[in-house]
């Protein structure tokens, strides 16, 4: 997959992804960016024309997905990642982290309306997610790989917000550290999905037969459940 990044005065960050699996232009509005998945070799002019055709709807959608403000009432509480903000006495931010848990201690004068502070807090959370994912996800993938005899070549943890995971033709697997925002059974579903691609690269009937067997006949049910989640926090 080829990825390019652009900026638009109204729409903000635009990430264009060329995919061999794409048959048409697909637009997805997320708080952090507008994601556009396109077939390989498509001309930029056609992409721009599509953006202009849907600009009004995209701007409306962008307003609806405004990010939740991070303040003392904010928390993340999933099986593998818990985060909270607490008020401290010192005039600086402090962070206390252990596996699966992060506390951000905030000064009493913290102005959570400040957009620069919001951006900084998100970077702190993202870095904490990255550190935890690098510890939690590799052994979980290895265990499932060994259990189902589906070997892979390598694993990388990335910051992808458009895809939970991917697998190359060389059996190199990429996993987003945002997976930690999912319940454990959906994390396993994504890992099994990518391991299934070590046997079948496309999403044809053979692929779904493999994944369905690995998930005790629940692949479509789990896929539908996964669609209710996103990488926003």
Judge whether 144 and 189 are in contact, CB under 8 Å: no
Q: Which of 181, 180, 178, 176 is nearest to 194 (CA)?
A: 176
133-226 is a CATH 3.30.450.20 domain: no
The tens-digit pLDDT sequence of the chain (233 residues) is 678 888 888 888 899 998 888 889 999 888 778 899 999 989 889 999 999 999 988 888 877 666 788 999 999 999 999 999 999 999 999 988 889 999 999 999 999 999 889 989 999 999 999 999 999 999 999 999 999 999 999 999 999 877 899 999 999 999 999 999 999 999 999 999 999 999 999 899 999 999 999 999 999 999 999 988 988 77
Residue-level pLDDT at 230: 83
Q: Record the pTM.
A: 0.74
Q: State the sign of the Cα–Cα–Cα–Cα dihedral 195, 78, 219, 30.
A: negative
Using the Cα atoms of residue 194, residue 128, residue 2 and residue 29 in order, give the sign of their dihedral: positive
Q: Please tell me the predicted confidence (pLDDT) of residue 65.
A: 67
Buried b (16+ CB within 10 A) or exposed e, 158-169: eebbbbbbbbee
Q: In sequence order, what are the residues at sequence separation of 6 or more whose Cβ sits closer than 8 angstroms to the Cβ of residue 137? A: 155, 157, 175, 177, 179, 180, 187, 191
User: Domain-by-domain residue ranges, the chain?
Assistant: 2-64, 75-131, 133-226
| Cα angle 160, 163, 167; round to 5 | 100
Query: Rounded to an integer, what distance in angstroms lies between the CA atom of residue 130 and that of residue 126?
Result: 6
| Pairing relationship of beta strands 154-158 and 172-176 according to DSSP bridges | parallel
């Amino acid at each position: 997959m080829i990825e390019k990044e652009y900026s638009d005065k109204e729409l903000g960050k635009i990430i264009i992804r060329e995919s061999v699996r794409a048959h048409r232009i697909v637009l997805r509005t997320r708080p952090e960016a507008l994601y556009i998945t396109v077939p390989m070799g498509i001309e930029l002019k056609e992409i721009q024309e599509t953006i202009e055709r849907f600009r009004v709807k995209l701007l409306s959608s962008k307003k609806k997905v405004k990010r939740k403000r991070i303040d003392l009432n904010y928390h993340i509480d999933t099986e593998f990642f818990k985060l909270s903000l607490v008020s401290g006495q010192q005039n600086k931010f402090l962070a206390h982290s252990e596996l699966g848990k992060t506390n951000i201690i905030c000064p009493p004068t913290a102005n959570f309306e400040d957009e620069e502070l919001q951006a900084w807090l998100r970077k702190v959370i993202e870095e904490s997610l990255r550190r935890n994912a690098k510890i939690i996800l590799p052994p979980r993938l290895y265990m499932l790989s060994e259990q189902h005899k589906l070997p892979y070549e390598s694993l990388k943890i990335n910051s992808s917000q458009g895809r939970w995971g991917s697998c190359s033709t060389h059996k190199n697997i990429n996993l987003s550290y945002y997976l930690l925002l999912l319940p454990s059974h959906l994390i396993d579903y994504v890992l099994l999905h990518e391991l299934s691609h070590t046997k079948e690269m496309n999403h044809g009937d053979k692929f779904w037969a493999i994944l369905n067997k690995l998930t005790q006949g629940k692949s479509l049910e789990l896929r539908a459940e996964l669609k209710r989640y996103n990488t926003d926090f």
